[in-house]
C-alpha cells in the first residue's frame, strides 16, 4: 500500500484551503454585470447580477443603491421599481443624467410632486412641448428639452413610434406614443378611426383635426365630410385615397387632387 507522508498531506490541505478562500473572495468581490455592485450585494438586494439595470429605468443598479450596502435606504431610488415615487415618470427620466442625485432643474424621483404645486409630476409639461412628463417618459424624450434630438422638430410634433400619429395627438387620443399598436388589435394606431368620422387617426393628426371628436370644429359637418383643402375631395376620401387632406395637389404634379383619377375608372376623384 502506498503511503503519503505528512508533508504531502499538509501541502494538499493548504492548497484546498487557499482554493476555497479564493472562491469566497471572488464571490464577494466579483461584479458580473459591471454595475458597481458585487454579486453578493445584488443577492442581498434582490437585483439581477447579470443585468446592470434590473428595473430598466435607465439608472444602473449600483447608482440606485448609492451606498452599495444591499438595501434601499432613505434618499435612494429602488433598483427593483422603474418608478419609485409612482408618478408615472421613470426614475431615469426624472434623474435625466442618471447620477443618482437630484440636480438643479431635475424632477425628484423620490417625490411625485417635485415643485409642490399640487400637480403630479407625470401630469406636468416641464418644457412646454405639448407632451406631459409621463408621455415623454414613455417615448424616451426629455421633459427638460422641447426638442430632445435637436432636429428642429418639437417633441410633441414627432412621431416616435412611426404610426402616423404625432406624439402630442397620441397623448390626446389616449394611445401610447411608444407603441404603434397601443391596443394590440393588429391595427396600427394611425389606421384606427377612434371617433368613427371616416378619417383615420393618422389622417386626423395630419389634418390637425381631433381624433376623438367626429366634428372637430363644431360646425355640424362630420370631419370626414369636410374638404379642408378645397380640392373637391372630402377629407374622408383623401384619407382613403392616401392623399393629403391639407394639400390640394398632394403629389405636386400640378394637377388638383380632385381632378386626378387614382383608381383609373375614368372619373376624377372629385366626383
| 184, burial (CB in 10 Å: exposed 0-12, middle 13-18, buried 19+) | exposed
- What whole-number distance in Å separates Cα of residue 72 and Cα of residue 265? 70
- pLDDT bin (cut points 50, 70, 90) of residue 207 is very high
Query: Taking the CB of residue 200, how many other CB atoms lie within 10 A of it?
Result: 24
- Which pLDDT tens digit goes with each residue over 17-48? 444 444 444 556 799 999 999 999 999 999 99
Three cell numbers at 174?
389616449
Percent of residues, the chain, with pLDDT higher than 70 = 90
- Which pLDDT tens digit goes with each residue over 42-79? 999 999 999 999 999 999 999 999 999 999 999 999 99
What's the pLDDT score for residue 23?
A: 47
- Which pLDDT tens digit goes with each residue over 81-140? 999 999 999 999 999 999 999 999 999 999 999 999 999 999 999 999 999 999 999 887
What's the pLDDT score for residue 27?
A: 58
Contacts of 21 (CB under 8 A, 6+ apart): none
Amino acid at each position: 500500500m502506498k503511503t503519503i507522508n505528512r508533508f504531502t498531506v499538509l501541502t494538499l490541505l493548504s492548497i484546498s484551503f487557499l482554493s476555497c478562500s479564493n472562491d469566497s473572495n471572488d464571490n464577494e468581490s466579483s461584479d458580473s454585470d459591471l454595475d458597481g455592485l458585487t454579486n453578493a450585494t445584488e443577492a442581498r438586494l434582490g437585483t439581477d447580477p447579470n443585468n446592470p439595470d434590473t428595473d430598466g429605468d435607465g439608472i444602473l443598479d449600483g447608482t440606485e443603491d448609492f451606498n452599495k450596502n444591499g438595501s434601499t435606504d432613505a434618499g435612494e431610488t429602488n433598483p427593483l421599481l422603474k418608478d419609485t415615487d409612482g408618478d408615472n415618470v421613470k426614475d431615469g427620466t426624472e434623474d435625466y443624467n442618471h447620477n443618482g442625485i437630484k440636480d438643479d432643474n431635475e424632477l425628484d424621483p423620490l417625490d411625485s410632486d417635485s415643485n409642490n404645486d399640487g400637480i403630479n409630476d407625470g401630469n406636468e409639461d416641464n418644457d412646454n412641448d405639448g407632451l406631459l412628463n409621463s408621455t415623454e417618459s414613455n417615448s424616451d424624450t426629455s421633459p427638460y428639452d422641447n426638442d430632445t434630438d435637436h432636429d428642429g422638430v418639437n417633441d410633441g410634433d414627432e412621431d416616435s413610434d412611426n404610426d402616423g400619429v404625432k406624439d402630442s395627438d397620441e397623448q390626446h387620443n389616449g394611445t401610447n406614443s411608444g407603441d404603434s399598436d397601443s391596443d394590440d388589435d393588429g391595427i396600427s394606431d394611425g389606421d384606427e378611426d377612434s371617433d368613427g368620422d371616416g378619417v383615420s387617426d393618422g389622417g386626423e393628426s395630419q389634418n390637425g383635426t381631433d381624433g376623438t371628436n367626429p366634428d372637430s370644429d363644431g360646425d355640424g359637418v362630420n370631419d370626414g365630410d369636410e374638404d379642408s383643402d378645397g380640392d373637391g375631395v372630402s377629407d374622408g376620401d383623401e384619407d382613403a385615397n392616401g392623399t393629403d387632406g391639407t394639400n390640394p395637389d398632394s403629389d405636386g404634379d400640378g394637377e388638383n387632387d380632385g381632378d386626378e383619377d387614382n383608381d383609373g375608372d375614368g372619373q376624377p376623384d372629385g366626383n
